[in-house]
Chain A
């Protein structure tokens, strides 16, 4: 089974025209380019305006924005982690399982058994790294497609979570963890938003400004080219899976802190929004590549849409429909413009 991770390719159109005519059409091209990059941020702003007009008393409030930015920081962190293997051309479908298990570790042994929180955090993070290493082991040693390995791993981890939780929700997670994630605020927004923002800066910096990030890009966009140029491709792929495992575990810790409890199934609902945000993010800011700022904008665009619809009175099914539809549409738009392009390459 061949599963390609195709970074969406939007906005790289009409470069030939750009070359031949630097005249009046070039200004239009620049504008088009800019619109392509800014499409998702503009759509986000439009969504905010529409909901503010429709529900002026409930939507544009500190409370709502605090909830959007704060609680959904977990989604942003897990998506930024997912971005690393995607950039290397590999899927990681185990992130939601890792997140769930990590939050349950906190809930079960901190909330349930009262073990010191820092110790629990260390264990959760170590498990995240371990999951990444096991994924990487199967990918590298057996040459299995990561899509399959991580699909199995994700389900496996959810089973382990049910086992250690006995199918119960554990409350009583450390107040300290709750404080530094959700309760303490800066400018009315929970601190965890700023952690996600800081992580975004780090991922952006590594992706765009370091030799490591550049090599990772080639592993995803021209794997054989990278190999021939002396890049240690397999090592990079394993490393990327370890990073996504670690960040998924971190997201799980924040998830437990945000809700003050750990639920054995809630974490699995992050998988689809994370992929939707990563792929939609790949069509914006730096179109054609999975990128950090595009991802954070896309994640908050999706979350704002869902929150607004819920304020309008939509039922809970809307969330699933919205995320699923957004994922397929984002990839479809990317593919549409790619089809137009591939004709000029070959």
Chain B
């Protein structure tokens, strides 16, 4: 398909996809053609392609479900592509499986959001963890190790004492060390590829503080200056425009754009990501719109690891949605208010009582009248080995406490049966071990357990995680009932359709701050996604 006709034919076949260009200047370091990946009947990737040139930072963007992470997982060898794909790295066609370190042999290295470091060890040890300088000698000469580490770091512009423990360093410096380590592995590990390779930064910046990103960018620049290529996978359009020379946009598993970033406006990139025109932006200023009722929960000045000075109020019967990208802090709010996470500052007023959120605990949350449905069901929500009844009743035991701490089994059982019926847990048998229930029914138990305490405010952290479609709609219906009965509900989720179904108001957070408040008709999937991916100056 070297000419225009062939291209047009291809277009008809795949209307939303942009076909790969042919020829062009120089040979790409990483070239992917016709990459498809199906999971059952859903097609996560559809004839995707990618060309990453040496000495360049190449951005890869797309919203959740665009196939971006599937592509990265194929490169990492975690998924095998469907037949017909061709992956060429520095002129060598990939013929062996990429999994189990195979990608490394081809000169592909990954830095993930989880940096993969050992906190308790020194910078040198972390740098050379898989291959010490003196090897194959069995003993180490620490002076030489440290000198080598120091020199290596300095060549990337990182000046730190390599004897220091990783844990003592700020997270941005840790990320730099990890990138230097990956670059060093590229150099050492790919002699047959001329000591150059592709470094994949897989959302590696998502959890970094804003100020740290600039420093990191210079390290990434130093990496490509050596002739490597960097594939920069990110959620943040502005960051991609700033860092990358070229950007590939994925939507619904297809490549919809492959452009130079120079001169590209952020709105343009966001439109490519979400696939439609942006609506004129408006930031509602009715932050206090929940303060109308005296029984509202009012949170002021909330500050956590990610959340930065957030204030809001929720009325009884209202459902407030919180959303944003990973690392924006939207999910930290529910964790803190439920007592599961620590706040650096902030205050909550509920029912006329004032709670200092820096001196707060799960027990305090209970007393305040706040219940949390945590997102990690099996670790935080329920004890899988114990029975349904035992799980549901844990938080309300004191209400059924008789003489000398005796549990009033009959009354408690009655209440548990009522809750099982109310929340439509199937089968409604209180004595079954919780783990014998389906995921959806387990989640209903978690919600019933939270509601058993009769909270004023119900906090939800991804309430339909790992739940099938049928149970999902039942759970959402039940949550609406909960709100209708007068409980204030705060729901943190990345699921835009869930927010549309459930919420009266939606906050979109970006880097810890409120960037949009949506109400009424503005609460629709498209708008929520658009706000999530847009930055607001």
A interface with B by C-beta (< 8 Å): 7, 9, 12, 15-16, 19, 206, 209-212, 214-215, 217-218, 221-222, 224-232, 288, 341, 344-345
Please, which residues of chain A bring their CB within 8 A of the CB of B325?
A: none
Given contacts A15-B436, A225-B380, A225-B381, contact A232 B363 (CB under 8 A): yes
Would A211 and B397 count as touching, CB distance under 8 A? yes
User: Does residue B75 face the partner (Cβ distance < 8 Å to A)?
Assistant: no
Instruction: Judge whether B398 and A211 touch: CB under 8 Å.
Output: yes
Task: Contact check, B436 vs A218: say whether CB atoms are below 8 A apart.
Answer: no
User: Which segment of B204-212, B267-275, B293-301, B404-412 sits at the interface?
Assistant: B404-412
Cβ 8 A contact of A341, one of B404, B405, B435: B435
Q: Is B157 an interface residue (CB 8 A)?
A: no
Most B CB within 10 A of own CB, among A7, A15, A288:
A15
B372 touches A228 (CB 8 A): yes
B259 interface residue per 8 A CB criterion: no
In the assembled complex, B365 has its CB within 8 A of some CB on chain A: yes
Chain A residues positioned under 8 Å from B160 (CB to CB): none
Q: Which 6 residue pairs spanning A and B have beta carbons closest together?
A: A222-B383, A15-B436, A230-B363, A210-B405, A211-B397, A230-B366
SS class, residues of chain A in contact with chain B: helix
**What are 14 residue pairs bridging A and B, where the CB atoms are less than 8 Å apart in the complex?**
A7-B385, A12-B436, A15-B433, A209-B406, A209-B409, A215-B394, A217-B390, A218-B383, A225-B381, A225-B383, A225-B391, A225-B394, A228-B338, A231-B394
Chain A CB within 8 A of B427 CB: yes
B342 at the interface (CB under 8 A from A): no
- The number of residue pairs between A and B whose CB atoms lie closer than 8 Å in the complex comes to 88
Asked if residues B385 and A210 are in contact (CB atoms below 8 Å), the reply is: no
With A210-B406, A221-B385: A344-B435 Cβ-Cβ less than 8 Å:
yes
Residue on B nearest A338 in the bound complex, by CB: B385
Q: Which A residues lie within 8 Å of B369 (CB)?
A: none
Contacts of B365 in A (CB 8 A): 230
Specify which chain B residues have a CB less than 8 angstroms from the CB of A288 in the assembled complex.
385, 433
B395: Cβ under 8 A from any A Cβ: yes
Chain B residues with CB under 8 A of A230: 339, 361-363, 365-366, 395
CB B376 to nearest CB in A, in angstroms, measures 8
Inter-chain contact B394/A214, CB cutoff 8 Å? yes
Which B residues are CB-close (under 8 A) to A217? Answer: 386, 390
- CB pair B427 A221 closer than 8 Å: no
Residue of B nearest to A231 (CB): B394
B436 and A214 contacting across the interface, CB-CB below 8 Å: no
Chain B residues near A (Cβ < 8 Å): 338-340, 361-363, 365-366, 372, 374, 378-386, 390-391, 393-395, 397-398, 400-401, 404-407, 409, 427, 429, 432-433, 435-436
Min Cβ gap A9→B in Å is 6
* Most chain B CB within a 10 A radius of its CB, from A226, A231, A341, A345: A345
Instruction: List A contacts of B405 (CB < 8 A).
Output: 206, 210-212
* In the complex, chain B residues whose CB is within 8 Å of the CB of A222: 382-386
Quote the shortest CB–CB distance from B419 to chain A (angstroms).
15
Tell me, in angstroms, the Cα distance from A206 to B395 when the chains sit together.
Answer: 18
Cβ-neighbour of A210 out of B366, B391, B404, B433 (below 8 A): B404
CA–CA, A211 to B401, complex, Å?
A: 7
Cβ distance B168 to chain A, nearest Cβ, rounded Å: 20
Beyond the given A215-B397, A221-B385, please list 18 additional residue pairs across the A-B interface where CB-CB is below 8 A: A19-B429, A19-B436, A210-B407, A214-B390, A214-B394, A214-B407, A217-B390, A218-B386, A221-B383, A224-B379, A224-B380, A225-B380, A229-B366, A230-B362, A231-B394, A232-B363, A341-B435, A344-B436
Query: Which A residues touch B397, using CB under 8 A?
Result: 211, 214-215
Give complex CA distance A193, B383 in Å: 36
Q: How far is the CB of B367 from chain A (nearest CB, A)?
A: 8
CA distance A301 to B404 in the complex (A): 33
Task: Collect the chain B residues with CB atoms within 8 Å of residue A221's CB.
Answer: 383, 385-386
Give A288 to B387 CA distance when docked, in angstroms: 11
Q: In the complex, which residue of chain A has the Cβ closest to the Cβ of B364?
A: A230
Give, as a whole number of angstroms, the nearest-CB distance from B448 to chain A: 13
Contact of A9 among B361, B378, B385, B394 (CB under 8 A): B385
Which chain B residues lie closer than 8 Å to A214 at the CB level?
Answer: 390, 393-394, 397, 407
Known interface pairs A228-B362, A229-B362. Does A12 touch B380 (Cβ–Cβ under 8 Å)? no
Minimum CB–CB distance from A6 to chain B (whole Å) comes to: 9
- B383 partner residues in chain A, CB cutoff 8 A: 218, 221-222, 225
CA distance A214 to B362 in the complex (A): 18
Give the shortest distance, in Å, between B422 (CB) and chain A (any CB).
19
A193 to chain B, nearest CB (A): 26
Q: Which residues of B contact A231 (CB under 8 A)?
A: 394
Nearest CB of chain A from residue B45's CB, rounded to whole Å:
26
* Chain B, Cβ-Cβ closest to A210: B405
Q: Min CB distance, B28 to chain A, in Å?
A: 40
User: Cα distance A209–B413 when bound, in Å?
Assistant: 13
When distances are taken between beta carbons in the complex, the residues of chain A under 8 Å from B401 are 211
- Minimum C-beta distance from A225 to chain B (A): 5
Q: Most chain-B Cβ atoms within 10 A of its Cβ — which of A16, A215, A222?
A: A222
Contacts of A210 in B (CB 8 A): 404-407
* Interchain nearest-CB distance for A23 vs B (Å): 15
**In the complex, which residue of chain B has the Cβ closest to the Cβ of A19?**
B427
Minimum CB–CB distance from B457 to chain A (whole Å) comes to 15
Contact in complex: A229, B395 (CB < 8 Å): yes
Nearest-Cβ distance from residue B234 to partner chain A, whole angstroms: 31
- Is the beta-carbon distance between B407 and A211 smaller than 8 angstroms? yes
